[in-house]
Structure 1
Amino acid sequence: MRGRGYVLDFSDRTFSQFFATELDVDIDDPVFARDGGSKGKRLRCFLQTADNATAVRALRALWEHRVGLVASTGSPDPVAKAEGRLLSLITRLQDGPEEHPVEPPRPAADRRLYEALKAELVQVRELPPHERGYAFETFLRHAFDAAGLAAREPFRNTGEQIDGSFVLGHEVYLLEAKWHAGRTPAADLHVFHGKLDQKAAWARGLFVSFTGFTPEGLAAFGTGKRIICMDGRDIYDALSHEIPIRSVLDRKVRRAAETGRIHVTVREMFGLPVPQI
Structure 2
Amino acid sequence: MLDFSDTSFADFFKSELKVGIDDPKYAANGGSKGKRLRYFLQNCDDTAAVRALTALWEHRTEYIARSGGKDPVVDAASRYQGLIDRLSSCAATNPARPAPAPILDRQKILAIKAELLRISSLGAQARGFAFEGFLKSLFDAFGLAAQEPFRLRGEQIDGSFHLGNDTYLLEAKWHGQPIGVADLHTFHGKIEQKAAWTRGLFVSNSGFSEDGLVAFGRGKRVICMDGLDLYEMLDRKIPLNQVLERKVRRAAETGMPFLRVRDLFPS
TM-score class, shorter-chain normalisation, is 0.5 to 0.7
**Residue 155 to residue 111, structure 1, CA distance change in 2 (3 Å):** same
Q: Describe the SS at the equivalent of 1:224.
A: coil
Which residues of 2 match residues 1-277 of structure 1 at below 5 A? 45-46=73-74, 109-272=104-267
Rounded Cα–Cα distance in structure 2 between residues aligned with 1:127 and 1:261: 32
Rounded Cα–Cα distance in structure 2 between residues aligned with 1:110 and 1:221: 38
Structure 1 gaps of 5+ residues are 1-28, 56-103, 273-277
Match of 2:7 in 1: none
Q: Provide, for residues 5-43 of structure 1, a one-character-per-residue CA deviation record: whole Å limited to 9, x for no partner.
A: xxxxxxxxxxxxxxxxxxxxxxxx997xx9x86xxx96x
Q: Provide, for residues 54-73 of structure 1, a one-character-per-residue CA deviation record: whole Å limited to 9, x for no partner.
A: 79xxxxxxxxxxxxxxxxxx
Q: Describe the SS at the equivalent of 1:46.
A: coil
Rounded Cα–Cα distance in structure 2 between residues aligned with 1:250 and 1:110: 21
**Residue 171 to residue 49, structure 1, CA distance change in 2 (3 Å):** closer
Q: Provide, for residues 108-157 of structure 1, a one-character-per-residue CA deviation record: whole Å limited to 9, x for no partner.
A: x5211110100000111011112111100000000000011000000000
Post-superposition offset of 1:47: 7.5
Q: Provide, for residues 148-193 of structure 1, a one-character-per-residue CA deviation record: whole Å limited to 9, x for no partner.
A: 1000000000000000000001100000000001000000000001
**Residue 268 to residue 47, structure 1, CA distance change in 2 (3 Å):** closer
**Residue 51 to residue 143, structure 1, CA distance change in 2 (3 Å):** closer
Post-superposition offset of 1:46: 2.4
Q: Describe the SS at the equivalent of 2:207.
A: coil
Rounded Cα–Cα distance in structure 2 between residues aligned with 1:265 and 1:217: 16
Structure number with larger C-alpha Rg: 1
Q: Provide, for residues 48-103 of structure 1, a one-character-per-residue CA deviation record: whole Å limited to 9, x for no partner.
A: 99869x79xxxxxxxxxxxxxxxxxxxxxxxxxxxxxxxxxxxxxxxxxxxxxxxx
Rounded Cα–Cα distance in structure 2 between residues aligned with 1:224 and 1:198: 17
Match of 2:54 in 1: none
Structure 1-normalised TM-score? 0.62
Q: Which segments of structure 1 move beyond 2 Å, counting only runs of 4 or more?
A: 45-52
The residue identity in structure 1 corresponding to 2:228 is R
Rounded Cα–Cα distance in structure 1 between residues aligned with 2:77 and 2:187: 45
Post-superposition offset of 1:217: 0.1
Match of 1:14 in 2: none
The number of residue pairs the alignment matches comes to 187
Rounded Cα–Cα distance in structure 1 between residues aligned with 2:178 and 2:168: 22
**Residue 187 to residue 115, structure 1, CA distance change in 2 (3 Å):** same
Rounded Cα–Cα distance in structure 2 between residues aligned with 1:117 and 1:48: 23
The residue identity in structure 2 corresponding to 1:247 is Q
The residue identity in structure 2 corresponding to 1:213 is F
Structure 2 gaps of 5+ residues are 1-60, 84-99
Rounded Cα–Cα distance in structure 2 between residues aligned with 1:49 and 1:141: 25
Rounded Cα–Cα distance in structure 2 between residues aligned with 1:235 and 1:144: 12
Give the % identical residues.
Answer: 54
**Residue 208 to residue 46, structure 1, CA distance change in 2 (3 Å):** same
| Bigger RCO (CA 8 Å, 6+ sep) | 2
**Residue 161 to residue 51, structure 1, CA distance change in 2 (3 Å):** closer
Structure 2-normalised TM-score? 0.64
Rounded Cα–Cα distance in structure 1 between residues aligned with 2:77 and 2:113: 30
Q: Describe the SS at the equivalent of 1:205.
A: strand
Rounded Cα–Cα distance in structure 2 between residues aligned with 1:269 and 1:125: 25
Q: Describe the SS at the equivalent of 2:184.
A: helix
